[in-house]
C-alpha cells in the first residue's frame, strides 16, 4: 500500500527550483496578457456542480467521467473545478455585464480531473487561461489566438502547431448533427462503446474519439464548415483571414470539435511535438454560456494552456529551471554568545541586499559542521562570527569557492560584500 506521505496518483509536490520555473511562466503570462488589456481574476476552486454540468454539457467526458464531485454537510453537490471557463463566466454573470461592455480576464490555478494518470496527464494539473466576453467579433478570436502565440514565444516555446476549426452557431447544429448521423449510421456497429453511446447522445463527440477504428471513420466524415449556414461560414472566413494577416501560422482542422458543448464558431488547439502522446499544449474557442436565472447568455472567447505541459515543452527544447543556491550568504555564529548576533547580522543584510538569500546558522554547532552546511547550501560567502569577532567588531568573510578569507570591520561589511557578490 502506498505510504500516506506519498502524493496521490496524478498529483505531485512541486519543489524549488521547479517552482521558480512556474513563476517564470506566470510572470511571462502576466506580462503578455497585460499588454492586451487583461486583468487577473481568481475564482473559487470549487463550485456548485451545476456550474459545470450546465455549461460544459452533461454528455461530455469531463462531466460524465472525470469530475471530483462531493456533497457538503448541507447536502449540496459541489465539484472541484475541472476547467476555468465555467467559474469565470459564473463570476462575470454574477457581477453583471453592462450592455455592450467587454471584459478581459486571465487566471492561473489548479484544475481537477479524475483521468488515468500518464506522462503529461495529471489529476491535479494547472492551467493559465484567458477569457474575453462581450465581443462577438471575429477579430477578437484572431487577437486571442495571436496573444496565445505571443505568450508561447515569450517563454521560448518554438515549433508549436496551431489547428483551427469552426463549430458554427447553435442554429446550424441540427443540420450538422443529422449529416453526421447519416454518415456514421452504417459504421456505428463497428465503433467503440463510447462512440456507440455518443451516436445517440452527442454525435459530434464521435469526431473526437482517439480509438481505432473510430478515428479512421471520423477522418472520412463530412467537414463541419461545409454544413454551416452563411453567417457561420463568413465568421470563420474572417477568423482565417485575420490569422493570416497577423502572421499566425495555422492549419485548418475540419473535424476538430473539442470536448465541450458550450463552444460556438471558432475552436482551436495548439500541439507540440516535444510532449509525446499527450501533445496538446493549449486549447480554446468561442463559447456561449447561460446560467439559470440569467436573462441573456454570455458570449466570449478564451483558451487554457496546461502549465505542466508548457514546462515539458520547454524542457524538450532544452530550457530548464534556473540554477539557484539555498543561500548566497551564510552567517555562522560560533558559540552560544554569537547565535543572536548572527541572527541580527543576517537580518541587517537582508535589508541591504534584497536580491540575495541570507541564512544564519543558529545551531551553535562546531565550525566544521556549520561550514559543511554552508557548502551544502552552495553559499557564495560564509560570514563567521565568534567571540573574538564580536569583541573586535569584525566578521571573518570566507569566499566559499576560493577559500580566501579576510577579516572585515563590521561597518565596512556591506561595501565589501557588494564588491564580492553577484547580486541577482
Ligand atoms: P482542455 O480544455 O481539456 O483542452 O485543456 C486545456 C489544456 O490543459 C490542454 O491543452 C492541456 O495542456 C491541459 N490539460 C488538460 N487536461 C490535463 C491533464 N489531465 N493533465 C495535464 N494537463 C492537462
129 Cβ inside 6 Å of ligand 1: no
| Residue 424 predicted with pLDDT over 50 | no
Contact between 161 and 270 under an 8 Å Cβ cutoff? The reply is yes
Residue whose C-alpha cell reads 477522418 in the numeric block: 219
Closest C-alpha to ligand 1, atom 14: 306
Torsion of CA 10, 13, 17, 22, to 10 degrees: 60
Contact between 352 and 301 under an 8 Å Cβ cutoff? The reply is no
318 C-alpha to ligand 1 centroid (Å): 22
Grid cell for residue 264: 460556438
Residue 59 has a pLDDT of 79
How large a percentage of the chain has pLDDT more than 90?
87
pTM: 0.93
Instruction: Give residue-wise pLDDT tens across range 210-266.
Output: 888 999 999 999 999 999 999 999 999 999 999 999 999 999 999 999 978 889 999
Could you give all domains of the chain from N- to C-terminal order, each with its CATH number? 18-169+228-316 (3.30.930.10), 329-421 (3.40.50.800)
| Residue 381 predicted with pLDDT over 70 | yes
Instruction: Give residue-wise pLDDT tens across range 83-105.
Output: 999 999 999 999 988 888 999 99
Grid cell for residue 238: 474572417
CA distance 349 to 346: 5
Tally of helices (H runs) and strands (E runs) in the chain: 14, 16
Please give the distance of CA 73 from its chain centroid, rounded to a whole number.
31
Closest C-alpha to ligand 1, atom 13: 306
283 Cβ inside 6 Å of ligand 1: yes
310 Cβ inside 6 Å of ligand 1: no
Residue 400 has a pLDDT of 96
Instruction: Out of 56-65, 108-117, 386-395, pick the least confident.
Output: 56-65
- CA R_g for the chain: 28
Closest C-alpha to ligand 1, atom 12: 306
DSSP-assigned letter for residue 221: S
Instruction: Give residue-wise pLDDT tens across range 303-360.
Output: 999 999 999 999 999 998 888 899 999 999 999 999 999 999 999 999 999 989 999 9
Crossing angle of helices 230-245 and 138-154, in 10° steps, is 40
**How large is the greatest C-alpha to C-alpha distance in the chain, in angstroms?**
94
Pocket test for ligand 1, best of 309, 310, 311 (most atoms within 8 A of CB): 309
Amino acid at each position: 500500500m502506498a505510504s500516506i506521505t506519498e502524493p496521490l496518483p496524478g498529483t505531485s509536490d512541486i519543489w524549488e527550483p521547479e517552482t521558480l520555473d512556474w513563476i517564470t511562466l506566470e510572470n511571462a503570462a502576466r506580462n503578455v496578457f497585460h499588454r492586451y488589456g487583461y486583468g487577473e481574476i481568481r475564482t473559487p476552486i470549487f463550485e456548485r456542480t451545476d456550474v459545470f454540468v450546465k455549461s460544459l454539457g452533461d454528455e461530455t467526458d469531463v462531466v460524465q467521467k472525470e469530475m471530483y464531485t462531493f456533497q457538503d454537510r448541507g447536502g449540496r453537490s459541489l465539484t472541484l473545478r475541472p476547467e476555468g471557463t465555467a467559474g469565470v463566466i459564473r463570476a462575470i454573470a454574477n457581477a453583471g455585464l453592462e450592455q455592450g461592455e467587454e471584459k478581459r480576464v486571465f487566471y492561473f490555478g489548479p484544475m481537477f480531473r479524475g483521468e488515468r494518470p500518464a506522462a503529461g496527464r495529471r489529476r491535479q494539473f494547472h492551467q493559465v487561461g484567458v477569457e474575453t466576453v462581450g465581443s462577438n467579433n471575429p477579430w477578437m478570436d484572431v487577437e486571442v489566438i495571436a496573444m496565445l502565440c505571443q505568450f508561447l514565444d515569450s517563454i521560448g516555446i518554438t515549433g508549436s502547431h496551431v489547428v483551427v476549426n469552426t463549430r458554427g452557431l447553435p442554429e446550424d447544429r441540427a443540420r450538422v448533427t443529422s449529416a453526421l448521423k447519416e454518415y456514421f449510421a452504417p459504421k456505428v456497429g463497428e465503433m467503440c462503446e463510447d462512440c456507440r453511446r455518443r451516436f445517440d447522445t452527442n454525435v459530434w463527440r464521435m469526431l473526437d474519439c482517439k480509438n481505432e477504428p473510430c478515428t479512421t471513420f471520423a477522418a472520412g466524415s463530412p467537414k463541419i464548415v461545409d454544413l454551416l449556414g452563411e453567417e457561420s461560414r463568413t465568421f470563420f472566413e474572417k477568423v482565417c483571414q485575420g490569422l493570416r494577416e497577423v502572421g499566425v501560422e495555422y492549419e485548418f482542422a475540419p473535424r476538430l470539435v473539442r470536448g465541450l458543448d458550450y463552444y460556438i464558431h471558432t475552436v482551436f488547439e495548439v500541439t507540440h511535438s516535444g510532449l509525446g502522446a499527450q501533445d496538446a499544449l493549449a486549447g480554446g474557442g468561442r463559447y456561449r454560456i447561460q446560467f439559470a436565472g440569467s436573462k441573456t447568455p454570455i458570449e466570449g472567447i478564451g483558451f487554457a494552456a496546461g502549465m505542466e505541459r508548457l514546462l515539458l515543452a520547454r524542457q524538450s527544447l532544452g530550457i530548464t529551471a534556473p540554477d539557484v543556491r539555498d543561500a548566497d550568504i551564510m552567517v555562522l555564529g560560533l558559540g552560544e554568545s554569537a547565535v543572536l548576533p548572527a541572527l541580527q547580522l543576517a537580518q541587517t543584510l537582508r535589508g541591504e541586499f534584497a536580491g540575495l538569500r541570507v541564512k544564519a546558522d543558529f545551531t551553535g554547532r562546531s565550525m566544521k559542521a556549520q561550514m559543511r552546511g554552508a557548502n551544502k547550501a552552495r553559499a557564495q560567502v560564509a560570514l563567521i562570527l565568534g567571540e573574538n569577532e564580536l569583541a573586535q567588531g569584525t566578521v571573518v568573510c570566507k569566499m566559499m569557492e576560493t577559500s580566501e578569507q579576510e577579516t572585515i570591520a563590521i561597518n565596512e561589511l556591506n561595501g565589501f560584500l557588494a564588491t564580492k557578490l553577484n547580486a541577482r
